[in-house]
Amino acid sequence: MNHSFWSDKRVLVTGGAGFLGSHLVDRLRAAAGCHVAVVRQKQFDLTRMDDCRRCLAAHRPGIILHAAATHGGVPVYQLQPGRVFYENLLMGAQLMEAARETGVAKFVGIGTACSYPGRLVGKLNERDFWGELPHESVLEYGLAKRMMAAQGVAYKKQYGFHSIHLALSNLYGPRDEFDPAFSHVVAALIRRFVEARRAGQPAVEAWGTGQPVREFLYVEDGADAILLAAERYDDTAPLNIGTGVGTSIRELTELVRELSGYRGEIVWDTSKPDGQMKKLLDVSRLKSLLGWQAPTPLRVGLATTIHWHEASLATANARA
């Protein structure tokens, strides 16, 4: 992060009190002279156009980091696909339109690897972004975020509006959501193993076969990459933000068990869905264009996250 770049900027961070957004805000506030505004839903509901306009009129940002999203674990995507699609679609579309109307200099759309076609095998390259539908397990979330990228391309063509779209891999780290209804795989596993160790439970259940391969990006690394892209990246083509390093769910589960100090068994419930079998990002453009690669090894990031979780159990378990 180049502090001098941000020193005279007015920056609006949607979702700034949440997991990723709070880490972005911490970094921006460390840059002397940077004016940071955090959007909270109780003040501005970004699914309402009037609230989007009021928000931008109140804060007058030059840069928007759109980190707000309606998302969660598998139960959320299975039980509330309509809400997930509707709210993410409206937040992205209306906020970008309000930004265009008010002359915002740069809109940074924070998307997801879930937007990539679900049938692709191998590393996901940006040239494949606009292919087939996302995997059915994340279809509504992935499509809504992909539409935000499409809007950026269209607005560049017609209005010359300046936006970028960043496709992030799976984030984990301190301040994650550990509520089972909302958590993703890392946070869910950490909570299960910590609770099982404390309760002396003989076994912990894990979903699926453990065979799917994913990559996991430490949240502080993700925040650094987003701010670097905001400084240096100017193309409407999506840019992958990740590690490019694959880990099977079985390997991840065994590593979390080890680092959490749990000594019991892992029982795999193969009746539960695996989802897409392999989802890895090709981060070659990230390295070549920005000269950046994720510095935090998975073992180190997991150990830090487990330590934070145990030191903050009441807060961590109740974030959602």
How many CB atoms lie under 10 A from the CB of residue 79?
A: 12
Closest Cα to residue 67, out of 229, 309, 268, 257?
A: 229
Which amino acid belongs to residue 38? Answer: V
Q: Which class for 209: exposed (0-12), middle (13-18), buried (19 or more C-beta within 10 A)?
A: middle
Strand order in the sheet with 278-281: 123-124, 278-281, 213-214, 247-248
Q: What is the DSSP letter of 271?
A: T
Q: Could you tell me the CA-to-CA distances from 110 to 117, 233, 255, 256, 265 in Å, in that order? A: 18, 13, 29, 27, 38
SS3 218: strand
Mark whether 218 is an active-site residue: no
With a CB cutoff of 8 Å and minimum separation 6, the contacts of 271 are: none
Q: What is the DSSP letter of 29?
A: H
SS3 240: strand
Q: Tell me which H or E stretch contains 197.
A: helix 185-199
Which amino acid belongs to residue 228? Answer: L
Catalytic pick among 116, 141, 218, 262: 141
With a CB cutoff of 8 Å and minimum separation 6, the contacts of 158 are: none
Question: Measured between alpha carbons, how far is 62 from 74 in angstroms, rounded to an integer?
Answer: 36
Angle, CA of 91, 97 and 100, to the nearest 5°:
135
Which amino acid belongs to residue 66? Answer: H
The catalytic site residues sit at 141
